[in-house]
Amino acid sequence: MPSIKVMAWNIEKFGFTATITNPGVPLGFTAGKLIEFVGRVISNYNADIVGIMEIVGGAGDVLANLLEVEMNNLRPAGALYTWHALASPRQLAGTQEEYIFLWQQEAGRLMPFVQGALPSINHLSFYLYGMLNDWDFDFIVNGYTAAQRDQFWQALEANGYRNAQYNVSATHWHQLQPPANAAVNLNQPGAAVVPPLLLTLAQRQAIKEVLVHTKPVLFTKGGGRPPFISDFVIGGVKRLRTAVLHAPNPSDPNKYDVINNLALINDLNDPLVNRLVMGDFNTDDGDTKSAWRMGFVLNALNNTYSFTYLTPKQHDQIFTRVVGAPLNMTKQMNNVKTSLTSSFLSLTAAHNDILASTYDNFYLARATAAPNQLAVNAASPPQVVDLVYRINAANSVLAISQIGDAAVEVFLSNPGKLWLKKKITDLDDAIKKAKLLTAKGKLMNQVAALKAHRVLLNKAKLDPPMTVSMAHLVYNRSISDHLPIMITLDY
């Protein structure tokens, strides 16, 4: 049975440091060693769709372009597919991160889904803020003058569909939900302001669809990172709607709201398609914290709705609304550690010493109709792509030398090497200041281990690591504190 592989990967602080400035090329940057490493990993593991998290510094478009070029350069001869990449809009809150989707595009096997005016690949990052921009209505405003665009937005605002901050009106969002309300009331009798050009019924229906796919004020809290959602057609027929999420930091209680508010996203509640939520949830298995439920609240004084936290408070335990109603998704990995310890490991560390938390996972809901369903491959269950293990040359059978070589090149070309030098200097200073012999002895052991790593790295710059601790040091300090995860879906 044919299948596709989907990968989610939190590449820590993935930004312009992964590039090389080059004014002579169109975007002004060429790929650095980290982009080459990411390409080799994706290629070696034959991923078909990849969701990348933690893009920082506004580098999304540049990195997406460089990754697309890198992946197409790595295609085998005669490949029928081409790689495509797209960055999300930059988020408006917290760390203003972006996401990137990469996918192999091949007619009849894997294609982006497009339906009229509804967004296909690049949707829901702005949508989850309840915000609108010109891109959302490109099927209307394409070709408009600047003055006509302003008039179109004024018509949306004057008729109550959005406010001055470009947020969708909660009242009108609620009113548009019944199927009977098939179109917005623009250039119709009773419209307060009409758009610059007469809109057809089909256009007004398409505007309605954009609006109802836009949830008002879901993720506006300070650290609230919304997901990025793509829509694909697998095998020419079966739909896969894929959401990649990087939840707020482990210490940020907003993460519980963000995770549970996934249940409020229309596109993840569609039983006609297969839905996959994946990413770094920054929440360990067994976490029993709860989130304050959001919903629509009617103001009886002026008969308007707002979308806000319910009062009196109603709470849901974390993931209750994801694995239960309304999403009814199935968690794909249980008690599987996917993130790495930040501690420095000694030369004698065992492989189990590198793993820390069960933060990353997949949640899958299959389409209700059997002919449209995708199924998890029974012979290849969802798994962690243990790159630390794979770049350790001591595992001669399972190690992948190309990835190991590339990982060391990344380490030696970026702050990883500087971190090692600074760590040794700091520990040397701490030894001089230490008063207790026991403390001094522990610090000296750490310095000895660190210096041993430095000697090994400097001795053979292109050789892959030869110990668990060295492989962990190279990957953790120059690539990420998370390992990729992968799921194989049969179609």
| Secondary structure of 357-425 as H, E, C letters | CCCEEEEEECCCCHHHCCEECCCCCCEECCHHHHHCCCCCCCCCHHHHHHHHHHHHHCHHHHHHHHHHH
Q: Do 137 and 34 fall within a single domain?
A: no
441 lies in some domain:
yes
Task: Give residue 224's pLDDT.
Answer: 65
Asked whether residue 124 carries a pLDDT value surpassing 50, the answer given is: no
DSSP-derived secondary structure for 425-456: HHHHHHHHH--SHHHHHHHHHHHHHHHHHHHH
Q: Do 184 and 311 fall within a single domain?
A: no
Q: What is the mean pLDDT of the chain?
A: 86
For residue 366, the domain's CATH number is 3.60.10.10
Last residue of a domain, one of 368, 393, 418: 393
Vertex 456, ends 451 and 459: CA angle to 5°?
120
Let me know: does 209 contact 117? Beta carbons within 8 Å. yes
Distance (Å, rounded) from C-alpha 228 to C-alpha 362? 14
Q: Do 82 and 48 fall within a single domain?
A: yes
Q: Do 109 and 243 fall within a single domain?
A: yes
Could you list the residue range(s) of the whole structural domain that residue 236 is in? 3-127+216-393
Let me know: does 262 contact 245? Beta carbons within 8 Å. yes
Q: What is the band of 125 on the pLDDT scale with cuts at 50, 70, 90?
A: very low
Asked whether residue 46 carries a pLDDT value surpassing 80, the answer given is: yes
Q: Do 93 and 17 fall within a single domain?
A: yes
Q: Do 389 and 463 fall within a single domain?
A: no
Q: What is the band of 438 on the pLDDT scale with cuts at 50, 70, 90?
A: low
Task: Give residue 63's pLDDT.
Answer: 96
Q: Do 409 and 337 fall within a single domain?
A: no
pLDDT, tens digit (0-9, with 9 covering 90-100), for 242-279: 999 999 899 988 888 889 888 877 778 889 999 999 99
Length of the chain: 491
Q: How many domains does the chain have?
A: 3
Q: Do 121 and 137 fall within a single domain?
A: no
